[in-house]
């Protein structure tokens, strides 16, 4: 059985953000650094006089694992990866402490 291409799975998920509508004056910016294996989705813009800026999603591909460094979505990136065929043993919820990860259904590291 051929292993799923994790880069393609990550790209499929983050590309969905380009179609999302956010509050007028803000937009999602997708940043890809394929060489280092880092993929970010940033929300940037203005809400009246208030600056809006922050990392919504940060996924890192490292040592044949997918590390979710940040996930501030309603869709839950880990579940989307599982639905695409990524085994839970290859997904690390890196935004949780190493101690806490052992209580999740995903990989510890």
Has residue 77 been placed in a domain? yes
What would the DSSP string read from start to end of 1-15? -PPP-HHHHHHHHHH
Q: Is residue 73 part of a domain?
A: yes
Give the total number of structural domains in the chain: 1
- Residue 109 belongs to a domain: no
User: For residue 48, is it left (φ>0), alpha (ψ between -120 and 50) or beta?
Assistant: left
Average pLDDT of the residues in 87-105: 95
Residue 61 domain-assigned? yes
Angle, CA 13 vertex, CA 6 and CA 101 arms, to 5°: 65
Task: Specify if 65 maps to a domain.
Answer: yes
Q: How far apart are CA 95 and CA 66, in angstroms?
A: 12
DSSP 76: -
Residue 59 lies in a domain: yes
Higher per-residue pLDDT: 6 or 19:
6
pLDDT tens-place string over residues 7-66: 999 999 999 888 787 888 899 999 999 999 999 999 999 988 999 999 999 999 999 999
**For residue 97, what are the contacts with CB-CB under 8 A and spacing of at least 6?**
none
Q: Is there a domain that residue 108 lies in?
A: no
In this structure, what CATH number is given to the domain that contains residue 30? 3.30.310.110
- Domain extent, residue 38, equals 6-101
């Amino acid at each position: 059985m051929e292993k799923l291409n994790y880069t393609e799975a990550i790209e499929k998920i983050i590309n969905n953000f380009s179609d999302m509508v956010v509050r007028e004056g803000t937009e999602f910016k997708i940043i890809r650094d394929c060489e280092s294996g880092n993929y970010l989705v940033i929300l940037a813009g203005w809400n009246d006089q208030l600056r809006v800026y922050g990392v919504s999603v940060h996924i890192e591909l490292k040592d044949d694992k997918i590390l979710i460094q940040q996930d501030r979505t309603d869709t839950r990136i880990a579940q989307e990866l599982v639905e695409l065929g990524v085994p839970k043993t290859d997904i690390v919820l890196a935004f949780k402490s190493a101690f806490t990860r052992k209580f999740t259904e995903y990989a510890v590291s």
